[in-house]
Amino acid sequence: SMSSLTIPLSLVNFEDDSFSGTSIAAIELDENHTALSFSDYVLSSKDGSVIYMIQSGLESYTIGKDVEDASAIIDALKNVATLKEVKVEEGNTSYVAYYGVLYENKETVTSGDILLLPTAMTTFVIPEQMTAIYGGGWSDRVFYESNIDTLTYNKQGTYNSIIGAEAFAGASNLESIDLTGVKEIGSYAFENCTSLKEIRIPESVTYIGAAAFKGWTADQTIYLPFKSGDVLPEGWSTSW
């Protein structure tokens, strides 16, 4: 580890692994430096497109308006244990942040458009622009073993969405979820959601796939929008 680092004006960049395994408590960088920037725990290129080092304690990061390719930024931030939110500066046409989560800049989005779910985020707010949450493959399981314990939706919007197959499979920290307006719940959607003690299925749900609640135990409760003994709706699987 190193207690401090002073960066001269003549130094304009670093190798990718320059700070690998290094902990630096303080960084001094001339504010007139033309190639580098240091602010809020982050040492980066002046335009913010490359992150060279992140000090411990980073909770929020803002992607600049001129960043067109944030892949290197995303790689640098995805394992930051303290990161709670990502923001995007107004005017950026490539990326957008909704409630602290980074997405591709589209008129409507799905969970497949999530580029970065901050590691330390505990509440996920479904934006009104989101039409579906999927999880059909490992790469799509953005909530798998995440720290998200509460999922809700933007009540200012008109949320009418799809919870796809395996969308929350393995989301072991999820404790609360609001399904208001949901139309479909896919197969294995809530498999092994061991911290979710109850779930209320609204009348809007027209389809529930097989094994949607696989792994649920006797102390977990599923509330249905009709009386016990009623015939299940046509689109509902009888094998949960």
Whether residue 149 is predicted with pLDDT greater than 60 in this model: the reply is yes
Confidence band, pLDDT 50/70/90 cuts, at residue 10: confident
- Count CA atoms closer than 13 A to 51's CA, side-chain side: 25
Residue 164, Cβ density class (10 Å: 0-12 exposed, 13-18 middle, ≥19 buried): buried
Residue 123 has pLDDT above 70, yes or no: yes
Exposure letters 135-152 (e unless 16+ CB within 10 A, then b) = bbeeebbbbbebbbbebe
Helix, strand or coil, per DSSP, at residue 52: strand
For residue 215, give the 3-state DSSP assignment.
coil
DSSP track, 173-208: T--EE--TT--EE-TTTTTT-TT--EEE--TT--EE
Q: pLDDT digits over 54-71, tens only?
A: 888 899 999 999 999 999
pLDDT at 157 over 60: no
Identity of residue 224: L
Locus of tokens 């190798």: 15
Q: What phi, psi does 134 have (nearest 5°)?
A: -115, 170
Report which of residues 12 and 213 the model is more confident about. Answer: 213
Query: What is the distance between the terminal CA atoms of the chain, rounded to a whole angstrom?
Result: 52
| Secondary structure (DSSP) of 103-154 | EE--SSEEGGGEEE--TT--EEEEPTTEEEE--SSGGG-TTTT-S--EEEE-
Kindly report the CA angle at 84 between 17 and 50, in degrees rounded to 5?
Answer: 30
pLDDT digits (tens, 9 = 90+) for 168-179: 998 999 999 888
pLDDT band at 117 (very low <50, low <70, confident <90, very high): very high
- CA dist 74 and 7 (Å) reads 24
pLDDT at 239: 83
For residue 27, the model assigns a pLDDT of 83
Note the pLDDT of residue 93: 95
Return the residue matching tokens 């404790």: 175
Q: What is the pLDDT of residue 216?
A: 94
